[in-house]
Amino acid sequence: MERHGMDKAARRTFQDRWGVAVQAGSAESVAVLDAAIEDLVALGGDPVGGAEKAAADEDLVLARIYQAYLLLYGTTPAGVGIAKATLDRVAAAAGIPDGAAAGIPDGAAGLASPLPEREAFHFNAARSWEAGDWEAATRWLERALLANPRDLLALKVAQDLYFLVGNRLELRDVTARVLPDWPQGQPGWGYVQGIYAFGLEENGDYRQAQDRAQAALDHNPRDVWSVHAMAHVYEMEGNHHAGVEFLSTSAPDWSGSYFAVHNWWHKGLYHLELLELDAALALYDDPIRANRSTEWLNVVDAAALLWRLSLFGVDVTERARQLAADIDELVSEPVYIFNDWHAVMAFGLAGDHERVTRIIEANKQVTAPSAKRAAAAAGLDLLEAFAAYAAGEPGRTVELLADIRQRASAVGGSHAQRDVIDLTLIVAAARSGNDPLARALVAERTARKPPAAPSARRLAAHVS
């Protein structure tokens, strides 16, 4: 690898802004990388541009690994390919054999490593993620956190990967294990509170989740992940009016974020539960879909909101056709079945059942370890169930969804995102003439979240 005139002797060890060692050519480039990492954690700014600038320092290996992470977040075949090439260049420069993990230094045993310890952990995590073994990636990140509990990059990426694989307990506990090392008043404390808040919410600890998220927002109102954690609490407890108010008043703090579409989607969920269908549709047309993004993060929200609107009886056919056309080239080789599930929603609503079939068949052929596990556990059944509903086969939908509701977390996502399964099952039960099941599902939903009773009853009337 070309070193732009900087030899290995120029590489020195610095501390990042959270106190963890990192090797680089200069303190200035470390500061640039720190800012780019904070952009990712805060879901704001320009993490990609910051990472590229930091990577200009050839001795800052962590910057290039971080670039690979950002590519992998996109969950596209092209992104995975570029991430692999990026990691291959890191490996070649360090003398790591093709496809191999970097050895971890062990001073006690006198073992050498081509990379410093922190960089080696992150390289191995990124390599595992790129190779399709996302669970192995989390194990490397857990080792990184044992070595350096204040490694904010490891914490953020680990929780996000646990989210992608649907590991609810570790969404919470990956942060719980490092909390003592993040005391109040130290840099990064607020971000860690927000990360922990989301894990608490996904495990039903709504009071502590709200308290932690609020503390983070009191510290920094522009912490978008903490806004997001709070939005989930409002959703899960059925505080829909309060949720609308919270996201409306806080919007100036997060609407410029690349994560903004997802927060607008949460606002759309509140409106649906309140049977304010026009308000939800207006959100789809403007902040959610106005720019016709083809980033999976935004496509998933668009498809999910259209599907829910359809369940409530709104004709979304033309919007679905436009969305399907926008993502036509995005749906090729499967990477993440959660994405393809939402592609099935979009193409199914658009009436393109042939494309839906091709998506399902492609997911039957996946070989990457994490994708294969998710498909076998619940993913393929989910694709088939939503395809059946779109094709006008509610009875078949009921057969499939009734069996997999409790294991659907295997495809990833949050409780709020997977709630579309229960909503679809209620409507499918009603449309197939299984009124006892529809009534039972409404009763179940109402007991869990009493404010959702009117919307659940509306669904059971099979207005769609």
Name the one residue in this structure whose structure tokens are 């806080």.
Answer: 250
Nearest Cα to Cα of residue 348 among 385, 403, 312: 385
Looking at residue 114, what is its pLDDT?
A: 87
Looking at residue 38, what is its pLDDT?
A: 97
Tokens of 268: 């759309």
**Amino acid residing at 127:** R
Last residue of one domain, picked from the residues 137, 166, 195: 166
The answer to whether residue 28 is domain-embedded is yes
Looking at residue 102, what is its pLDDT?
A: 80
Same domain (yes/no): 363, 343: yes
Same domain (yes/no): 73, 142: yes
The answer to whether residue 256 is domain-embedded is no
Same domain (yes/no): 85, 221: no
The answer to whether residue 250 is domain-embedded is no
The answer to whether residue 409 is domain-embedded is yes
Same domain (yes/no): 152, 175: no
Q: d(Cα 227, Cα 251) in Å, to the nearest integer?
A: 10
Q: For residues 51 and 83, is the Cβ–Cβ distance under 8 A?
A: no
The answer to whether residue 264 is domain-embedded is no
Last residue of one domain, picked from the residues 237, 256, 275: 237
Same domain (yes/no): 103, 62: yes
Same domain (yes/no): 132, 216: no
Residues sharing a CB contact under 8 Å with residue 23, sequence separation 6 or more, in sequence order: 11, 12, 13, 14, 59, 60, 61, 62, 116, 119
Strand-pairing partners, residue 23, are 13
Tokens of 255: 């609407």
Q: How many other C-beta atoms lie within 10 A of the C-beta of residue 250?
A: 18
Q: For residues 125 and 140, is the Cβ–Cβ distance under 8 A?
A: yes
Looking at residue 117, what is its pLDDT?
A: 95
Secondary structure of the chain: what % helix, strand, coil (to 5)?
Answer: 70, 0, 25
pTM over 0.85, yes/no: yes
| DSSP states along 248-279 | HHHHHHHTTSTTHHHHHHHHHHHHHHTT-HHH
Looking at residue 463, what is its pLDDT?
A: 55
Q: d(Cα 386, Cα 60) in Å, to the nearest integer?
A: 46
- Taking 70 as the pLDDT cut, the residues of the chain under it are 1-10, 105-112, 462-464
Last residue of one domain, picked from the residues 132, 166, 200: 166
HSE, CB side, 13 Å, CA atoms: give it for residue 406. Answer: 2
Looking at residue 5, what is its pLDDT?
A: 33
> Could you say which DSSP state residue 12 is in?
E
- Domain total of the chain: 3
The answer to whether residue 242 is domain-embedded is no
Q: How many other C-beta atoms lie within 10 A of the C-beta of residue 5?
A: 7
> 355-378: b or e for each residue (b if 16 or more CB lie within 10 Å)?
bbeebbeebeebebebbbbbbebb
Tokens of 195: 């990360």
**Amino acid residing at 422:** D
The answer to whether residue 419 is domain-embedded is yes
Tokens of 211: 């308290």
Give the CATH number of the domain where residue 50 resides: 1.25.40
Q: d(Cα 283, Cα 271) in Å, to the nearest integer?
A: 10
The answer to whether residue 114 is domain-embedded is yes
Name the one residue in this structure whose structure tokens are 């310890």.
Answer: 117
Same domain (yes/no): 337, 385: yes
Same domain (yes/no): 295, 321: yes
Looking at residue 110, what is its pLDDT?
A: 43
Cα separation values, 310 from 22, 306, 414, Å: 50, 6, 21
pLDDT digits (tens, 9 = 90+) for 81-97: 999 999 999 999 999 98
3-state secondary structure of 320: helix
Q: d(Cα 170, Cα 75) in Å, to the nearest integer?
A: 21
Tokens of 443: 């009763």
Find the helix or strand (DSSP H, E) in which 299 lies.
helix 296-311
Same domain (yes/no): 207, 81: no
What residues make up the domain containing 48?
A: 1-166
Same domain (yes/no): 86, 216: no
Residues sharing a CB contact under 8 Å with residue 400, sequence separation 6 or more, in sequence order: 381, 382, 384, 385, 388
φ, ψ of residue 217 in degrees (nearest 5): -75, -30
Same domain (yes/no): 320, 464: yes
Same domain (yes/no): 18, 39: yes
Q: d(Cα 124, Cα 100) in Å, to the nearest integer?
A: 9
